[in-house]
Structure 1
């Protein structure tokens, strides 16, 4: 008998997620799911996938109606489902949900993207500060050490990655990592995208089975550079009728840097982080989770 395949066994409901749509969602064999915790390179990866699908080196080929967040809790999920059903091209679909909360198909493609957890925490802090509504501010008090302690100490709940905590991100990682032997589950890392974007574009094209000329790979990498993505967001925000949940939509792409905690956290804060993460993952898993490297 073969090894068991992933099963959907949980529902996750939080401030921004509701997974009820998965009970009726129909997966197509060529679907591509971008599966990430928040602020781990979700939009970046969706944009790369959309450019490879369309063979167009232009970040504007992505928008959240073409590549929607299927289990977004604050949008009409039936409408999202209908939008996806009407698409005749290859679909690229976003989710922040762990693997045990989504529908798995052995024919679809699952791109799992992570980032150094402390960078995620600080990117989220900037993200929430840029939101027009303040309903997530309670997770990021002004005192950075206090906020970081909440990030480290709060347990996993039925909200999934909506907890925005180390434990919830590790749970997302673990849910996919245990099935990394499956040929259609692929792990990408924010640091790898930053270190060698052309190489990662070529890797994505291979995963997707897309025949792409080397020149177009380089053009797509250039179009997906941080500056290009931010400029595209700025242009989009200047279009008539544009609406956004953010005060400055271009700041959705805050800085694109790593080691965001330097000068903001104490040595004691980082000692506590080291101890907490060491409780959750092995040395080899930590090397990948933080830096995209394997031991």
Structure 2
């Protein structure tokens, strides 16, 4: 049976990722891993999971010290692992790493969240513009078509999703998609969360084996709306001593919308995307990756 399960075979090291921590990390049977490329709904999903764990309809129950990014390369990974080891409640853990770069347990739950790749690109652009440091600006030149061509053309590398390219995101997706029949790997889509958040909250509760009534499902969905989370971020900004790596912390939760490229890219840009994505994935994979729908 073990040979049919995912194995960690690759180390990913980039500007913001370092997977060295996984070798010694002990997974618990009730752990929940949120596995996404950047800007695909990571914090959104973590917040929903934390609200379900705590049975509290309040986005402030999410805290990146409680639900940390385990393989973050610019933080003390040993310290974060020790913090997780000391937790006595159910843990929610974030990673942007493909499945072949993390430890897999057949007992833990893996929530794989993706989003239309072109939306991801534009959300990343806004994210980088909002950062106080400019070390990723080179990936997003002012000319939108030039930046989009870089997104399409640059290869995937050993940096994993740190590449911020179409190929790196597709690699992340397909690393999990190959094991989609395993009972503890669950695919969620940003568009699905947007279309029916109460339904997705109920689905997460089932995945996590949490009994929850219809009123709390409704309350958590309302608390997990983008408007609610953005207001929570604004309240955090106003607390004495608050610091952030962003010019506007609340803009971390941008708009929660899709089709961000409309009116920004040319028909030639989108034709090139169409060619690239069609070469990388099957029609079934593309349909899900772009919309969350299945054939």
| Fold in common (TM above 0.5) | yes
Task: For residue 241 of structure 1, report the CA deviation from its aligned partner.
Answer: 1.1
Which residue of structure 1 lines up, in the alignment, with residue 141 of structure 2? 141
Q: CA RMSD in A?
A: 0.8
Q: Distance in 1 between matches of 2:212 and 2:278?
A: 41
CA–CA separation in structure 2 for the residues paired with 1:46 and 1:79: 20
The equivalent of 2:169 in structure 1 is 169
Point out where structure 1 has 5 or more consecutive residues left out of the alignment: none
Match of 2:15 in 1: 15
Cα deviation, 1:150-184, whole Å, max 9, x if unaligned, reads: 00000110000000000000000000000001000
Alignment partner of 1:106 is 2:127: no
What whole-Å deviation, never above 9, does each CA across 1:237-290 have from its counterpart, x for those lacking one? 111111111010000011111000001000000000000000001111101000
State the Cα distance separating 1:3 from its structure 2 match: 6.2
Q: CA deviation at 1:23?
A: 1.0
Deviations 1:196-254 (A, max 9, x none): 00000000000000000110000000000110010001101111111111010000011
- Specify the alignment match of 1:290 in structure 2: 290
Q: Which residue of 2 aligns with 1:270?
A: 270
How far is 1:98 from its partner? 0.2
Alpha-carbon separation, structure 1, partners of 2:74 and 2:257: 29
Distance (whole Å) between structure 1 residues aligned to residue 13 and residue 120 of structure 2: 21
What TM-score, normalized by structure 1, do the two folds share? Answer: 0.99
SS in structure 2 of the partner of residue 110 of structure 1: strand
1:2 deviates by 7.6
TM-score of the aligned structures, taking structure 2 as reference length: 0.99
- 5+ residue gaps, structure 2: none
Mapped pair 1:212 → 2:217: no
For 1:252, the equivalent position in structure 2 comes to 252
Please list, as runs of the form range in 1=range in 2, the aligned pairs for 1:117-196 lying within 5 A after superposition.
117-196=117-196
| Other structure's SS at 2:276 match | helix
Matched residue SS, 1:113: strand
TM superposition shift of 1:94? 0.2
**1:72 — aligned with what?**
72
Q: Give the aligned partner of residue 242 of structure 1.
A: 242
Q: What residue is the counterpart of 1:33 in the other structure?
A: 33
Deviations 1:50-90 (A, max 9, x none): 00000000000001001000000000001101110010000
Partner Cα distance (2:261, 2:168) in 1: 20
More deviation in 151-160 or 236-245? 236-245
Aligned to 1:24: 24
Once the two structures are superposed, the pairs formed by residues 45-60 of structure 1 within 5 Å of their partners are: 45-60=45-60
DSSP-derived class of the 2:4 partner: coil
Q: For residue 88 of structure 1, what is the aligned residue in structure 2?
A: 88
Runs of 4+ in 1 over 3 A off after TM superposition: none
1:44 is matched with which residue?
44
Residue-by-residue CA offset, 1:124-167 (whole Å, 9 max, x unaligned): 00000000000000000000000000000001100000000000
SS at match of 1:46: helix
Distance 1:3 1:81 in 2: 27
Aligned positions, number: 295
> What's the counterpart of residue 202 of structure 1?
202
Distance 1:274 1:172 in 2: 19
